[in-house]
């Protein structure tokens, strides 16, 4: 096996999507607890855009190569062998990594690998790890979701919210609400995913609509990626003892003047920020295990939908980043490596 491989690099270390190109780099070597996986497909995530532009705090153990989720075939195992899952060379897997997935090969902990079900394609599996584990983290570890609670997912047609809406419905939410900026996306999450209702944030006062839908009570949990522009409305839409989980600040981080924060006291609201990539392997591994136990059977029998919007060969990585920047997709953008 060659000591080099092809990977997506960023000219100058950071820049616009036009800086992305495929070049030769050293092939990683697995440590004792890792596997070397030959990648068949990788998923895009919004953090990739930020990292490309030099605006994402990359963990110190992460490869400088973009990408955190992938599917592929084990080519080599470290000295400790296949780990507790007893993986073997030739096994088909998918997994989560701290970075390095935009490449022909990746070295990753065997604890973060999952066996690829025969029922799912390489493209579907490459779109599971970051998306579904993030949704699981927000629901269970951060907001302490339980059956009978109500929940709202912003950016309804994003991959994490698509996963979260399905998880919420399957696990007994009393109602599942969502927001999006387009009527088409609102209709999609209600008709295709079974959300109770969805509200257009560009044409409706969505927080007032939530209060109407809940008879003035509000929702128990909000999962937010937008940040400052939705901050005040999130407080308005939350129920007493409600929790807002902030996973990103896509709309900005500076609060507008005049935001009323009295709801924190009045309604005993909790506002919790979180991220997945900065967590240690033990934390991520527990979520991986929960994904395998809780969601994998539902992927296999079709109860959970893995929605892939677009599949492109990795030679079109600039086009893939453009699609994500345009915010027009519903579900994952996946790149394949032939």
User: Strand 113-115 to strand 34-43: parallel, antiparallel, or no bridges (unpaired)?
Assistant: unpaired
Specify the pLDDT at position 81. Answer: 78
- The whole-model pTM stands at 0.91
Q: Which of 140, 48, 146, 147 is nearest to 98 (CA)?
A: 48
Give me the percent of the chain exceeding a pLDDT of 90: 88
Q: Which of 102, 83, 106 is nearest to 36 (CA)?
A: 106
Q: Exposed, middle or buried, 112 (CB in 10 Å: 0-12/13-18/19+)?
A: buried
Domain spanning 132-273: CATH 3.10.180.10: no
Model confidence at 327, pLDDT cuts 50, 70, 90, reads confident
Q: Identify the DSSP state of 314.
A: G
Q: Would you say residue 83 has pLDDT above 80?
A: no
Specify the pLDDT at position 60. Answer: 86
Domain parsing of the chain, residue ranges: 4-128+277-336, 132-273
8 Å CB contact between 226 and 154: yes
Model confidence at 182, pLDDT cuts 50, 70, 90, reads very high
Q: Would you say residue 335 has pLDDT above 90?
A: yes
What's the average model confidence in pLDDT over 288-295? Answer: 92
Specify the pLDDT at position 57. Answer: 85
Specify the pLDDT at position 328. Answer: 86
Model confidence at 14, pLDDT cuts 50, 70, 90, reads very high
Indicate the SS3 state at residue 250.
Answer: coil
C-alpha gyration radius of the chain: 20
Establish how many alpha carbons lie within 13 A of residue 242's alpha carbon, considering only the half-sphere containing its beta carbon: 23
Q: Do domains 4-128+277-336 and 132-273 have the same CATH topology?
A: no
221-280 confidence digits (pLDDT tens): 999 999 999 999 999 999 999 999 999 998 999 998 888 999 999 999 999 999 898 898
25-45 confidence digits (pLDDT tens): 999 999 999 999 999 999 999
Specify the pLDDT at position 79. Answer: 87
8 Å CB contact between 40 and 71: yes
Could you please state the CATH topology (level 3) that the domain comprising 4-128+277-336 is classified under: Quinone Oxidoreductase; Chain A, domain 1 (3.90.180)
Q: Would you say residue 85 has pLDDT above 90?
A: no
Specify the pLDDT at position 233. Answer: 96
Looking at every residue in the chain, the average pLDDT score rounds to: 95
Helix orientation angle between 129-136 and 159-170, rounded to the nearest 10 degrees: 50
The string of DSSP letters for 167-233 reads HHHHTT-SEEEEEESSHHHHHHHHHTT--SEEEETTTS-HHHHHHHHTTT--EEEEEESS-HHHHHH
98-152 confidence digits (pLDDT tens): 999 999 999 999 999 999 999 999 999 999 999 999 999 999 999 999 999 999 9
- For 253, the token pair is 């981080």
8 Å CB contact between 28 and 105: yes
């Amino acid at each position: 096996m060659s000591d080099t491989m092809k990977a997506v690099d960023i000219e100058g270390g950071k820049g616009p999507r036009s800086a992305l190109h495929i070049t030769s780099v050293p092939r990683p070597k697995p440590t004792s607890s890792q596997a070397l996986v030959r990648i068949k497909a990788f998923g895009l995530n919004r953090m990739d855009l930020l990292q490309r532009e030099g605006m994402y705090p990359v963990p110190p153990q992460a490869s400088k190569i973009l990408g955190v989720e992938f599917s592929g075939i084990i080519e080599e195992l470290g000295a400790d062998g296949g780990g507790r899952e007893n993986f073997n060379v030739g096994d088909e897997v998918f997994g989560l990594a701290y970075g390095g997935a935009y490449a022909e090969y990746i070295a990753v902990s065997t604890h973060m690998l999952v066996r690829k079900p025969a029922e799912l394609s390489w493209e579907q599996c490459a779109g599971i790890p970051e998306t579904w584990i993030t949704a699981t983290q927000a629901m269970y570890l951060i907001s302490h979701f339980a059956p009978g609670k109500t929940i709202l997912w912003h950016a309804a047609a994003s991959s994490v919210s698509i996963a979260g809406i399905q998880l919420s419905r399957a696990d007994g939410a009393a109602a599942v609400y969502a927001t999006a900026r387009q009527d088409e996306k609102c209709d999609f999450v209600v008709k295709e995913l079974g959300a109770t209702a969805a509200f257009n944030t560009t044409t409706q006062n969505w927080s007032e609509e939530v209060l109407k839908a809940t008879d003035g009570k509000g929702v128990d949990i909000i999962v937010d990626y937008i940040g400052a522009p939705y901050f005040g409305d999130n407080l308005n839409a939350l129920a007493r003892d409600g929790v807002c989980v902030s996973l990103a600040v896509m709309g900005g981080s500076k609060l507008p003047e005049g935001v009323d924060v009295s709801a924190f006291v009045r309604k005993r609201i909790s506002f919790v920020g979180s991220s997945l990539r900065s967590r240690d392997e033990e934390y991520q591994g527990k979520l991986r295990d929960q994904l395998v136990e809780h969601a994998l059977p539902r992927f296999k029998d079709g109860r959970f939908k893995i929605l892939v919007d677009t599949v492109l060969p990795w030679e079109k990585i600039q086009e893939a980043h453009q699609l994500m920047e345009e915010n027009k997709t519903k579900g994952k953008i996946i790149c394949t490596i032939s």
